[in-house]
A and B are shown apart, each in its own frame.
Chain A
């Protein structure tokens, strides 16, 4: 009997708790859950943004994979973009972090300078700056010309344009670098000392001590950067607008054009769900693979 009374009094307090979490709860329902569910519904409709949605089953998905060549192009471009930017960013971030993981005069200033590009994030201004720099008559070609190298059509050549876009993404490696730097600081120096006594060189120490010790951070960075890369939009939109010849036409841009330029919101919702499914599958695969290459000191148990 006593137990029952206790449960009742706790229930009242539980209800009160809802008041405290109400702002977050409203945000979750209105700004995330509702758009999430409604976009799933719209993906099964013909929805012209300016009129009411009409149910058309899986037609949008059928069209995407059977009739829309542009979608398959954008899917392939997105995959290429991810394959270039994720490893590129991680390798550069790790290399710079290793370089900065030492006691030099003014090292904090240098670390800050390297982090600055990441503060700009996906900003329009930086994308515009990139565009101007890489134009045929831009500063990059001018610098190449100064050392006798013929200018490259960074934005106009379909084979090069994606690399130009990727380089902007890779340049913004600061956040990954900071995490790598923190991870490097955590590697016990005793391991290096022991390896030195055994005659290991710098490269061996890096491969057999540093890398295994920071695999949890590599894994985390890889997951986050892959998700970001698969959703990319700004640089492709601002710098090349998906061109030339659809060479930078990523899925985010395809989704935007279908939804907001052509007003096919149902079709755009279907693209967003394919993108979501792709991210989900890639993330699950990465998680599954992690057991064979990510090492936790507590063996993954909390």
Chain B
């Protein structure tokens, strides 16, 4: 009950935060930004992040402006693809060679903090100004808050989204704006195939089916996360696992999604490379709010909307939940934490930076930044809608075992065997539950 109340409070706060940006009349403009002074010795900071070209360009612009204002601080940018980013980071953290400022996936960070709570310095202890942030959003583990200390700053408001080709959906007779169930997706999948045999309802690969379908379906079915982390036990039973996999099998068998052998070439965050997506052969796709822009850019000339998210009849938990797309943390091996704090302040609190960064890391986390982006015309309504929709659900946050790379790999492998028709859901469920149980031992 306590957990439920806490979730409701978080949902209300986040929803109010996000939707508030449309109604507030730029009250934040009154509060002027005062640049932090830096009188310390000359410092060089390494800043690593992953992301696309827009994010790269915006971040480099902020760095350039920062270096012009703070000639004593030099920022070395280390950017690249998300592929292998956290593998490399784990090694860097273990060997004490991590960059000073690090962009981290919020679902991966708990693994780092659990193995060594001292990897990152506390923003609170170093006097970071969080006045622009809403405490109810900020002070959550998924947003970088661990044991009473803010070890990371969320770069935005994100979460799962359903990106819908609205004209196509309407033409086929599918309404993603109303409430609907998982079973409706199966029915709509059939409609799409009847409409055009070259089209599918949902653009998804095995990783996306794991992240968006399996985990949320399981939470709605169970009312808990996969693991009870506090007591070190696996919550999901073989029967529940089988039910989840049965549904996923139905997605493939009813051709709601493309065959597993087709989507294998576009696994991970590579759905935008699927030529069928580029050519508008899908009605919708699951995406992260932070990656919606990438998907929309890959298929131009389409009227995109953020669709509602599916709910199970009699669900025990809402499943879908908002989080942040990335966290920026300062490594404890940073030799000049003061300089890092000055840069972080410039990055998150400076209106010019807010304007430059815009929505390149999803819908901004602070109201002030959202107002600035709205004024600039860079805050797209579809992103705001998506953030509002997932925030309104307020489901449970995935536990750290389920969201670990190994946990995800076990689930994804099960989905793949079912997708290829190599295993029945019952066989795959037995094997997967045994592997998941081993993971916690």
- Shortest distance between the CB of A79 and any CB in chain B (Å): 21
Q: Is B115 an interface residue (CB 8 A)?
A: yes
- As a 0/1 sequence over residues 240 to 261 of chain A, the CB contacts with chain B under 8 angstroms (1 = contact) are 1101111000000000110011
Asked whether B416 lies within 8 Å of A243 as measured between CB atoms, the reply is yes
Asked whether B264 lies within 8 Å of A240 as measured between CB atoms, the reply is yes
Looking at A5-13, A99-107, A112-120, A129-137, the stretch in contact with chain B turns out to be A129-137
Contacts of B405 in A (CB 8 A): 261-262
- Shortest distance between the CB of A98 and any CB in chain B (Å): 37
Residues of chain A in range 19-77 having any CB-CB distance to chain B below 8 Å: 48-51
- As a 0/1 sequence over residues 155 to 166 of chain A, the CB contacts with chain B under 8 angstroms (1 = contact) are 111100000000
Interface of chain A, helix or strand or loop or mixed? Answer: loop
A261 touches which one: B115, B260, B265, B406 (CB < 8 A)?
B406
State whether A135 and B265 are in contact (beta carbons under 8 Å apart), knowing that A261-B405, A262-B405 are contacts in the complex: yes
Q: CA A240 – CA B416 in complex, angstroms?
A: 14
- Shortest distance between the CB of A190 and any CB in chain B (Å): 55
Asked whether B416 lies within 8 Å of A244 as measured between CB atoms, the reply is yes
Q: Is A153 an interface residue (CB 8 A)?
A: yes
Q: Is B171 an interface residue (CB 8 A)?
A: no
Contacts of A155 in B (CB 8 A): 264-265
Interface of chain B, helix or strand or loop or mixed? Answer: helix
Looking at B85-93, B175-183, B389-397, the stretch in contact with chain A turns out to be B85-93
Asked whether A157 lies within 8 Å of B111 as measured between CB atoms, the reply is no
- Shortest distance between the CB of A25 and any CB in chain B (Å): 24
Closest to B279 in A: A137
Q: Is B316 an interface residue (CB 8 A)?
A: no
State whether A156 and B406 are in contact (beta carbons under 8 Å apart), knowing that A49-B90, A135-B265 are contacts in the complex: no
Q: CA A275 – CA B96 in complex, angstroms?
A: 29
State whether A49 and B265 are in contact (beta carbons under 8 Å apart), knowing that A137-B275, A260-B87 are contacts in the complex: no
Asked whether A136 lies within 8 Å of B406 as measured between CB atoms, the reply is no
Total count of chain B residues near the partner, CB < 8 A: 33
Q: CA A263 – CA B119 in complex, angstroms?
A: 15
Asked whether B90 lies within 8 Å of A263 as measured between CB atoms, the reply is yes
Most chain A CB within 10 A, of B84, B115, B261, B267, is at B261
Closest to A160 in B: B261
Closest to B268 in A: A241
Q: CA A157 – CA B406 in complex, angstroms?
A: 24
- Shortest distance between the CB of B382 and any CB in chain A (Å): 27
Residues of chain A in range 150-202 having any CB-CB distance to chain B below 8 Å: 153, 155-158
- Shortest distance between the CB of A290 and any CB in chain B (Å): 40
Q: Give the number of residue pairs across the A-B interface with Cβ within 8 Å.
A: 67
- Shortest distance between the CB of B333 and any CB in chain A (Å): 13
- As a 0/1 sequence over residues 86 to 106 of chain B, the CB contacts with chain A under 8 angstroms (1 = contact) are 111011011000000000000
Q: CA A263 – CA B260 in complex, angstroms?
A: 29
Q: Is B417 an interface residue (CB 8 A)?
A: yes
Closest to B276 in A: A137
- Shortest distance between the CB of A224 and any CB in chain B (Å): 28
Most chain A CB within 10 A, of B265, B267, B268, is at B265
Closest to A153 in B: B261
B90 touches which one: A131, A136, A245, A260 (CB < 8 A)?
A260
- Shortest distance between the CB of B70 and any CB in chain A (Å): 33
Closest to A132 in B: B273
State whether A157 and B265 are in contact (beta carbons under 8 Å apart), knowing that A50-B93, A261-B87 are contacts in the complex: no
Contacts of B417 in A (CB 8 A): 245
Asked whether A50 lies within 8 Å of B90 as measured between CB atoms, the reply is yes
Q: CA A136 – CA B416 in complex, angstroms?
A: 18
Closest to B111 in A: A263
Contacts of A131 in B (CB 8 A): 265
Asked whether B416 lies within 8 Å of A245 as measured between CB atoms, the reply is yes
Q: CA A147 – CA B405 in complex, angstroms?
A: 43
Contacts of A157 in B (CB 8 A): 261
B261 touches which one: A50, A241, A244, A246 (CB < 8 A)?
A244
Closest to B261 in A: A156
Asked whether B112 lies within 8 Å of A50 as measured between CB atoms, the reply is yes
State whether A50 and B264 are in contact (beta carbons under 8 Å apart), knowing that A260-B87, A261-B405, A263-B111 are contacts in the complex: no
Q: CA A49 – CA B259 in complex, angstroms?
A: 38
Contacts of B88 in A (CB 8 A): 260
Asked whether A156 lies within 8 Å of B264 as measured between CB atoms, the reply is yes
Closest to A244 in B: B264
Asked whether A244 lies within 8 Å of B420 as measured between CB atoms, the reply is yes
Q: CA A241 – CA B287 in complex, angstroms?
A: 21
Q: Is B262 an interface residue (CB 8 A)?
A: yes
- As a 0/1 sequence over residues 400 to 422 of chain B, the CB contacts with chain A under 8 angstroms (1 = contact) are 00001110010001001100101
By Cβ-Cβ distance, the 5 closest A-B pairs, closest first, are: A156-B261, A50-B115, A260-B87, A156-B264, A262-B406
14 sample A-B contacts, Cβ–Cβ < 8 Å, listed by A number: A48-B115, A50-B116, A131-B265, A135-B265, A155-B265, A158-B420, A240-B264, A244-B420, A245-B417, A256-B87, A260-B84, A260-B91, A261-B87, A261-B406
